[in-house]
Amino acid sequence: MREDLCHSAVQLARAVGYSGAGTVEYLYDDVTGDYYFIEMNTRIQVEHPVTEMITGLDLVAEGLRIAGGEALRLRQSDIAIRGHAIEVRLNAEDPARDFAPFPGTVGSLRLPGGPGVRFDSMLYPGYQVPPFYDSLLAKLVVHGETRDAAITRMARALSELEIEGLKTTKPLFQALAADPDVRAGNVHTRWLEGWLETHAEALATASQA
């Protein structure tokens, strides 16, 4: 399947005469084995740490080399994928109030760490989160040898993370990491809407903690 997706992406780039670094995104149906083109991006994407965690490559550095005129150093056969990676985007939003923005000032701050944990952010105590722009505060990325191990590591990293002074999407991710359907992979592209309705009360309680 990976070879099919890579071949499709290369053919797409050739068809439009594209030259440079880019991302081709697909939606994969693990029941039928079918996959569907979503979009192509000609810039680095916010989820690029997931690829970096499972390949050991620095995509930003590779993109800068190409932009500087260097030839692509790697072939697809040179890239090996190891384990599973998960990224969550911590936003200054209240998940219990339909993800309403929550601007404010960051109080005390404790960041997660340890093997297989990556935290990309510019946060610091006293940082003022403005109401005018994207509410993204940080990206928390974890890696594990298995999907279940990655989810467990994510739950642990979220429990270590403390951002005082703001409501964030942290309680949502903690609840999802503990959900048996998420653990089992029994989710789909319309799953979250129903889950939010049935877990609204618990999520509101967690957001107030």
Measured between alpha carbons, how far is 111 from 18 in angstroms, rounded to an integer?
40
B/e letters for 124-156, b = 16+ CB within 10 Å, e = fewer, are eeebebeeeeebebbbbbbbbeeeeebbebbeb
Q: Are 168 and 161 in contact (CB under 8 A)?
A: no
Tokens of 130: 């403005």
Q: Which of 14, 43, 73, 82 is catalytic?
A: 43
Residue 110 catalytic?
Answer: no
- Known catalytic residues? 43
